[in-house]
Amino acid sequence: MKDFWKRFSQNRGAVVGLVILLLVVVLSIVAPFIYTKSPWAMVQRPFIPPFTMDAFVLGTDPMGRDLAAGLAHGARVSLLVGLVSTVVSLLIGIPIGAIAGYFGGWVDDLLMRFTEFFQSVPSFALAVVLVAIFQPSIYSIVISIAVVSWPPVARLLRGEVMSLRSREFVEAAVLSGQTHSTIIWRQILPNTLSPIIVLASMMVAAAILIESSLSFLGLGDRNIMSWGYIIGAGRTVIRQAWWVSFFPGLAILLTVLALNLVGEGLNDALNPRLARKGR
**Residues lying near another protein in the complex (CB under 8 A):** 38, 40-42, 46, 62-64, 135-137, 218, 222-223, 233, 236-237, 239-240
Residue 135 CB, nearest approach to another protein (Å): 6
Min separation Cβ 229 and another protein, Å: 10
Q: How far is the CB of 45 from another protein (least distance, A)?
A: 9
Q: Which uninterrupted H or E stretch holds 110?
A: helix 105-119
Residue placing its CB nearer to another protein in the complex, 45 or 273: 45
Least distance between another protein and beta carbon 72 (Å): 18
Cα–Cα distance for residue pair 182/243, rounded to 1 Å:
55
Helices (H) and strands (E) in the chain, counts: 12, 0
**Least distance to another protein, CB of residue 46, Å:** 6
Exposed/middle/buried for 175, CB within 10 Å: 0-12, 13-18, 19+?
exposed
Phi, psi of 60 (to 5 degrees): -125, 160
Q: 36 or 120, CB closer to another protein? A: 36
Q: Contact, 192 vs 101, CB < 8 A?
A: no
Alpha carbon separation from 165 to 48, 98, 206 (Å, rounded): 62, 10, 30
Shortest CB 221 distance to another protein, Å: 8
- Smallest distance, Å, CB 223 to another protein? 6
Cα→Cα distances 60→57, 184, 278, Å: 9, 54, 47
Q: Is there a contact between 261 and 87 (Cβ–Cβ < 8 Å)?
A: no
What gap in Å lies between CA 21 and CA 171, rounded to an integer?
42
Cβ atoms < 10 Å from Cβ of 169? 11
